[in-house]
Chain A
C-alpha cells in the first residue's frame, strides 16, 4: 500500500542530480546489457505495429520477414468498417471518462474528510478504505452481476460505469496528498468564516493539482484496460469496450487473422503508450504516492 521507505517524489523522478560514490566511470557493457534488455521489452510493441501493416499472405510466408514488404492499411479499414471498432473505442472512452470523473470527485471529498477533519468514526472509515484496497474484481463480480441484472442494467452504460465510480485506491491517494497540505491554510479560512465546503473547493482543491493528475491517469488507465467486468456485463456488440471486443474476436472466428488482431491491439495500446511517454512523470508519481500500480 505504501512504500514506507520511499523518498520524496523528486528523488525518483529527477535522476541526474545524485552522484553515487561507487560510480567511478561509466561502464559501457552495462549500457549494452540495459539496451538489449530494453529492446527485448519493447520488441513486442514493434512487432505488433509492423504486423498490423502486413497482408495475410505476407504473414503466412516462411521464413519471417521483419519489415512489411508491401505495407497496407487493409487491416485498419477492416477493423473500423467490418468490425465497428469505432463504437468499441467510443464505449471505452465514455466509460473511462465517467469513471475517472467520479473517482476524482468522490475520492477528493472523502480524502478531505479523512485528512483534514476531526470526526467520530474517522478511524473506522479509514480502515474500511484500507481493508478493501486489494479486493479483486473476481471476488465481487458474481453478486455484482446479480445486482446489475435485478436493476435491469445489464448491457448498459450505467451497468459498465456505476461499480467503478469509486475506488479505495483513489481515496487513499487523495488523503495521503492532502495530509501534506498545511493546516494553517484551513485555519485561516475558518477564521475568515468560510464554510467547510468552501474551504474544500476554494482552498484545498486548487492545491491538489499533482494528486488529481496522478489519480486521473491511474483511473483512466485502469478503466481503459479493465476486462473482467465489461466482459461480464456487456452482452452485445454495441456495448463492448475495446479489450472485450478484442478478446472475443481473438478467440472467435477472426482468431487466425493475424494482421487484423495486431491492428486491434495497436488501437488499444498505442494511444495509452503515447500518453505514457508524454506524461511519464505522473505515472511514476502514482507509484511513489501509493505504492500501487
Chain B
C-alpha cells in the first residue's frame, strides 16, 4: 500500500487519516493506466509534491507562526516548501493564515483566481477553518471554505509549527495521489465547486423547511 503517497520524513502509519488517501489511490488505479503516461505522472507528481511553494499571505496571528515555520528552527524548506512567493502567479498553494473578514474576502478570491493551476488551499487556524473565536462577529467569514475550495484544514489557534508541517505533509500526500495527465483526483474546477456549494445551500434550505 501507499506506493504513491510515501512521505520520506514520516511513516505511513503515523498519519491519522489514511483511509482518505487510500480512497484517492484506489480511484487513481481503478481503470489502469498507460505505462508511459503513468511513469511520467510518477515523475511529475514526485517533483510537484516536493516543491510546493506557498504564497506569502497572512492576515493575523497564524501568519507569525507561519513565519516561524519558515525560519531557522522549524525550517519548512527541508520538505520542499522552500520559499514563499509574494506574487500569486508564482505560487502553488495559498496558506490562508488568519481571519478572513468580509472586506478581505473579495481580495482573497481575487488572489486565488490569479494563481495558476494546479493550485491548492490550506485553511490554517480556527478562523480560516470555521470563523474560530470570531464566529459571532458581524464582519468575519465563517470559514474560508465558504469562498474557496479547501484541500487541507489545520486547526489550532494558532496551530503549532509542528501542526502546520503535518498539514503541509498531508497536502503533499494529496498531490502525490493525483494524476497530472488525465485529471483523476485533480482539484475540482471552480465551476464544479460553485455547483456543489449551491447544492449544499439548497439542501440546507430543504432541511430548514422540513424542520419548520
Q: Is this pair of chains taken from one and the same complex? A: no
Q: Which B residues have a C-beta under 8 Å from some C-beta of A?
A: none
A positions within 8 Å CB-CB of B: none
